[in-house]
Amino acid sequence: NAGVTQTPKFQVLKTGQSMTLQCAQDMNHEYMSWYRQDPGMGLRLIHYSVGAGITDQGEVPNGYNVSRSTTEDFPLRLLSAAPSQTSVYFCASRPPTGNTEAFFGQGTRLTVV
Amino acid sequence: GQQVMQIPQYQHVQEGEDFTTYCNSSTTLSNIQWYKQRPGGHPVFLIQLVKSGEVKKQKRLTFQFGEAKKNSSLHITATQTTDVGTYFCAGTKFSGYSTLTFGKGTMLLVSP
């Protein structure tokens, strides 16, 4: 059982480039989220989804797009990368049984130069 | 919006000393969760507290949820070097599914 898998683990982008961070879970979890982690800022919610076809914005959504075409996958797209998007990105999933624990992926460390 | 404050931001202790981190919410919470993140790792769930005044223990770790369900604490007795990491609290606002709002975390360093 792989849990939550994120790819890539590391990425360097030039300003203005676009890319997609991949997230997949094999636990049949309905709820999936993307967070970014910056020093001293904790985990901030970017976008989340409560099921296939449903997404919503979190605390810091600007510059990011998401889609949820299947239960398993929840990709995060950076439309035009900026240095302010240099961060560690975590994907998390939760079972659809109320407020239960979140399972995190290993993270993607993104640097925008 | 909902805010979750966590203090201290950083603490350095000698092995064997106790450690406590505190979490305060600007609004009443439905439940609160605690996570641990080792250096270079990802957050890992430790525990969830749901009831007002609830206290739970995991070996040397004691978790409390305040009577008003607006604050929580994590206390580690006799720290070990394996306790090194950042501890996050995360609250949910509603009893049904709602998003997790994380505190900024407390980084714990333990010297042998």
Look at residue A81 and tell me whether its pLDDT is greater than 80. yes
Look at residue B94 and tell me whether its pLDDT is greater than 90. no
A33-70 pLDDT tens trace: 999 999 888 999 999 999 999 999 999 999 999 999 99
How confident is the model at residue A38, as a pLDDT? 94
Taking residue A81's Cβ as centre, other Cβ atoms within 10 Å add up to: 22
A103 with B45: Cβ contact below 8 A: yes
From the list B6, B31, B45, which residue is nearest A99 (CB)? B31
How confident is the model at residue B97, as a pLDDT? 73
CA distance B67 to B80: 30
A10 touches chain B (CB under 8 A): no
How confident is the model at residue B48, as a pLDDT? 95
Residue numbers in A near B43 (CB within 8 A): 43, 90, 92, 102, 104
How confident is the model at residue A99, as a pLDDT? 67
- Chain B CA closest to residue A39: B104
- The contacts of residue A6 (CB under 8 Å, 6+ apart) are A21, A22, A23, A89, A90, A91, A105, A106, A107, A108
Look at residue A72 and tell me whether its pLDDT is greater than 70. yes
What's the mean pLDDT in B97-107?
Answer: 91
A103 touches chain B (CB under 8 A): yes
What's the mean pLDDT in B43-53?
Answer: 96
CA distance B100 to A44: 9
How confident is the model at residue B3, as a pLDDT? 87
Q: What would the two tokens of residue A61 be?
A: 């959504």
On the CB side of B61, how many CA atoms lie within 13 Å of its CA?
Answer: 15
How confident is the model at residue A41, as a pLDDT? 86
CA distance B94 to B97: 7
On the CB side of B35, how many CA atoms lie within 13 Å of its CA?
Answer: 25
Measuring CA to CA, how many Å separate B15 from each of B18, B58, B77, B79? 8, 19, 10, 5
Query: Closest approach of chain A CAs to the CA of B83, in angstroms?
Result: 19
% helix / strand / coil in chain B, to the nearest 5?
A: 5, 55, 45
A98 with B96: Cβ contact below 8 A: yes
What's the mean pLDDT in B59-86?
Answer: 97
CA distance A105 to A61: 19
How confident is the model at residue A96, as a pLDDT? 75
A69 touches chain B (CB under 8 A): no
B43 with A102: Cβ contact below 8 A: yes
Q: What percent of chain B has pLDDT over 90?
A: 89
Residues 62-101 on B with a CB inside 8 Å of A are 88, 90, 92, 94-101
